[in-house]
Amino acid sequence: MLRESAKQRTATLRAEHQDEILQRDARITGLQAELERKRDPAKAYHHGIAKDVLAGLSDDAKKVLRHLWTRDKIVQRYQVAGREYDDTFQMAGISGSDLRGILEKLVALELVHYACTRDHVGVLHSWEITPGFKGVLGELLFTEPV
């Protein structure tokens, strides 16, 4: 009989502790979610701008931004011998001229930074996401419906 009552007390204590643990875990999860929602002022500023801009972009432009976010940079090199941009400058079904137009629009919106450098081979064009928008674009492009 003494043994049974000890087993019952142990089972009761385990159940109480399990309830306490579940309540604590739920509170921790809630606090973590609240912290994630709060942003520092700079991140909040960039988040607001990015969300507004993304709402007005085409699906192809969002595809280009996702590619840029994933790959860090789009680079195009061509020789200076008077050649135009070749048709190999394509991405996921977007033609070279359309891709160039999308990148120019993203640069004008200041979501993307453009750089052009010359070396002994020719000209190197590169585009990458502006550093202030890198984190918020990843959040908006991959987690929230855009």
- 95 DSSP assignment: -
The neighbouring-strand residues paired with 116 are 125
DSSP code string of 28-72: HHHHHHHHHH---HHHHHHHHHHHHHHHTS-HHHHHHHHHHHHHS
With a threshold of 0.85, does the pTM exceed it? no
Other CB atoms within a 10 A radius of the CB of residue 81 amount to 6
pLDDT of residue 97: 79
Domain parsing of the chain, residue ranges = 41-142
**Residue with the larger pLDDT of the pair 76 and 54:** 54
Pair 110, 129: CB distance under 8 Å:
no
Taking only the tens place, the pLDDT of each residue in 77-130 is 766 555 555 445 667 678 777 888 999 999 999 999 999 988 777 788 889 999
**Residue with the larger pLDDT of the pair 73 and 6:** 73
The two three-digit tokens of residue 96, written as one number: 């070279």
The two three-digit tokens of residue 12, written as one number: 């009761």
CATH of the structural domain 41-142, one choice from 2.60.120.10, 3.10.580.10, 3.40.50.1000, 1.10.10.10: 1.10.10.10
Torsion of CA 71, 53, 41, 35, to 10 degrees: -70
112-118 vs 74-78, strand pairing mode: unpaired
Residue in the structure block whose two tokens are 């699906």: 59
Taking only the tens place, the pLDDT of each residue in 6-54 is 778 888 878 888 888 888 888 888 877 776 667 678 888 888 899 999 9
Q: For 65, what's the count of Cα atoms within 13 Å in the CB-facing half-sphere?
A: 29
The two three-digit tokens of residue 11, written as one number: 């089972």
Distance CA 75, CA 58 (A): 22
